[in-house]
């Protein structure tokens, strides 16, 4: 079965929610489900701008023409519009990375909202191509310095759905959730019971005749591909195993399957940090909220001993959230290393 047909067969909204206008309409329709609505409001209400318990489905609308009484100016349309008594909130929705901003976004929205920066939200893919343009236009217009807290990512919201499991409460939520996993490249890799047993053993050398090993290794590589590509890492052909890498200042982050580490720590996928400045020898490093453990090893008998710090992952590869948690962890490490 070819890939396109596979998606059409398994994802009811394939080639439907791809369209941004349809995507936002369906998303708004889901606000009729209280669990979904509450989760979304909790997700975007970081500044406690409103009392979520007093917001109902009828408070939301889509494609709202933004006009003011006795004002002939056209301020555009709001993709998703939330009105609570006299308070109005605008949500600009993008579900594609390459969709451009209209000429007046976000300025016209801010003018309509009387410069209430806190009442404007952007919900976009994590790798939206024009995110810097949002920052530039917004800052040039009114020098607002908290823009990052008004931009939200679909991947983070889908991550919250995964944790909450509200997709189990409604078929409408479930098919939206399944589409988003595919559309935002967040497919959850699940292991069979036999594969889980192999993973729990810690290593596979003495179990090579087990027929579940090839499928398990393939799933591990799919996880590595998903996370590595999402973090803009590149496949590293110089390491033994299946690894992605990325440089940050004087450091290199490696992510993937390191068989030496797998055998030693009992976890198939790992995150390592090495120091270029110290020629891959011993070094010290402190990262906020991240536990690092020393590791000195030889990849082969022909290579020099190398020192690295590997991240102590306190969660399981069998968790549905493994990929999203790991993406956030790698991005956090990158941000911190760039300041070193």
Summarize pLDDT for 182-224 with one digit per residue, the tens.
Answer: 899 888 888 888 777 777 666 555 555 677 788 888 899 999 9
Averaged confidence pLDDT in the chain: 88
Write the DSSP symbol of residue 123. E
Report which of residues 157 and 320 the model is more confident about: 157
Q: What is the pLDDT of residues 85-98, one digit of tens each?
A: 889 999 999 999 99
Q: How many residues are given for the chain?
A: 340
Q: What is the pLDDT of residues 106-134, one digit of tens each?
A: 999 999 999 999 999 999 999 899 999 99
What's the confidence (pLDDT) of residue 72?
78
Residue of 21, 50, 20, 19 lying closest to 37 (CA atoms) = 50
Q: What is the pLDDT of residues 308-333, one digit of tens each?
A: 899 999 888 988 889 999 999 999 99
The beta-strand segments (E) located in the chain are 60-65, 77-84, 87-93, 120-124, 151-153, 234-236, 242-248, 251-257, 270-275, 292-297, 306-311
Q: What is the pLDDT of residues 244-299, one digit of tens each?
A: 999 999 999 999 998 878 877 888 999 999 998 877 678 889 999 899 998 876 65
Q: Pseudo-torsion of CA 59, 65, 66, 71, nearest 10°?
A: -130
**Domain residue extents for the chain:** 3-181, 204-337
């Amino acid at each position: 079965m070819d890939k396109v047909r596979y998606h059409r067969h398994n994802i009811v909204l394939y080639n439907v929610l791809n369209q941004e206008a349809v995507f936002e309409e369906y998303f708004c329709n889901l606000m009729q489900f209280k669990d979904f609505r509450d989760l979304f409001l909790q997700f975007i209400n970081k500044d406690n701008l409103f009392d979520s318990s007093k917001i109902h489905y009828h408070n939301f609308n889509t494609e709202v023409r933004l006009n003011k009484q006795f004002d002939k100016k056209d301020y555009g349309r709001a993709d998703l519009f939330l009105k609570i008594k006299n308070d109005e909130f605008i949500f600009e929705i993008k579900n594609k990375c390459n969709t451009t901003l209209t000429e007046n976004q976000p300025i016209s929205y801010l003018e309509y909202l009387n410069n209430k920066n806190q009442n404007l939200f952007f919900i976009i893919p994590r790798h939206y191509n024009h995110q810097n343009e949002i920052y530039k236009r917004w800052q040039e217009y009114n020098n607002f310095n908290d823009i990052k807290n008004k931009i939200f990512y679909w991947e983070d919201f889908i991550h919250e759905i995964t944790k909450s499991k509200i997709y189990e409460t409604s078929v409408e939520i479930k098919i939206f959730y399944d589409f988003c996993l595919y559309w935002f490249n967040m497919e959850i890799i699940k292991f069979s019971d036999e594969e889980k047993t192999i993973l729990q053993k810690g290593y596979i050398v003495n179990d090579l005749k087990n027929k579940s090993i090839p499928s398990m290794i393939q799933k591990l590589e799919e996880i590595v591909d998903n996370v590595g590509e999402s973090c803009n890492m590149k496949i590293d052909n110089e390491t033994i195993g299946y690894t992605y890498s990325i440089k940050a200042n004087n450091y290199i982050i490696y992510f993937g399957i390191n068989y030496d580490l797998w055998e030693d720590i009992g976890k198939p996928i790992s995150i390592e940090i090495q120091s270029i400045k110290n020629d891959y020898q011993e070094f010290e490093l402190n990262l906020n909220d991240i536990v690092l453990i020393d590791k000195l090893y030889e990849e082969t008998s022909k290579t020099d001993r190398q020192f690295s710090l590997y991240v102590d992952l306190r969660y399981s590869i069998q968790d549905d959230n493994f990929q999203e948690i790991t993406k956030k962890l790698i991005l956090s490490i990158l941000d911190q290393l760039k300041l070193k």
